[in-house]
Amino acid sequence: DSKGATPLVWAAKHGNFTLAKLLLEQKDVEPDLADNTGRTPLSYAVQYGNEGVVKLLFDREGVNPDSSCKYGRTPLTFAVWGGNEGVVKLLLDWEGVNPDSSDEDGWTPLSYAVLCGNEGVVKLLLDREGVNPDSSDKHGRTSLSYGRKRKRGHGNEGVVKLLLDREGVNTDSSDKHGRTPLSYAARNGNQRVMNLLLQR
């Protein structure tokens, strides 16, 4: 279409396993052909949690599991956004996937997982070798700074606990504005997150 979306992109996005399988059986179908934003069928399948389509693409030669869109986001980043732990695990087990890739803003899959408040996905990433729990974005904010966001009226207490349990996490790191994770938690009124940080 006008946005460069192929039939396979649509099948992947909407989880149409039968259509995706039929398309992938055609020799002239490029399984990794990206749309105008640089997103591949895999990036859509993982974002929407379409595990069956992800497995089809996994078995197809010519699919790059670590391709990035024009903003530098990889399929793993989109899978983290989607929040499907099974799909995130599939990608993490796929050879060639960088679990600590960063986009144009310096955000890693872990940054997004913390922001989304998905404890299961955060744990999967933290358990993976090569993931830096203390990496910072282009503003100097670490993942711990994003744990202060509200989730059902509270900060992401569970996510913050997971981060604090990791070696190398600096609770006093400051961004380019001089703000620390504690100051962000205070600014957002997240008492529970503040207490966790103060106990460190």
pLDDT of residue 49: 95
Return d(Cα 196, Cα 190) in angstroms, integer.
10
Confidence of residue 167 (pLDDT cuts 50, 70, 90): confident
Instruction: Please state the rounded mean pLDDT for residues 107-134.
Output: 95
DSSP 48-59: TT-HHHHHHHHT
Which residue segments constitute the domains of the chain, with CATH numbers given? 1-98 (1.25.40.20), 108-200 (1.25.40.20)
The predicted-structure confidence for 49-98, as pLDDT tens digits, reads as follows: 999 999 999 999 999 999 999 999 999 999 999 999 999 999 999 999 99
DSSP 174-199: --TTS--HHHHHHHTT-HHHHHHHHT
Residue type, 5: A
- Judge whether residue 155 has pLDDT over 60: no
Report the pLDDT value the prediction gives residue 150, as an integer from 0 to 100: 54
Mean pLDDT of 25-36: 95
Q: What percent of the chain has pLDDT over 90?
A: 82
Mean pLDDT of the chain: 92
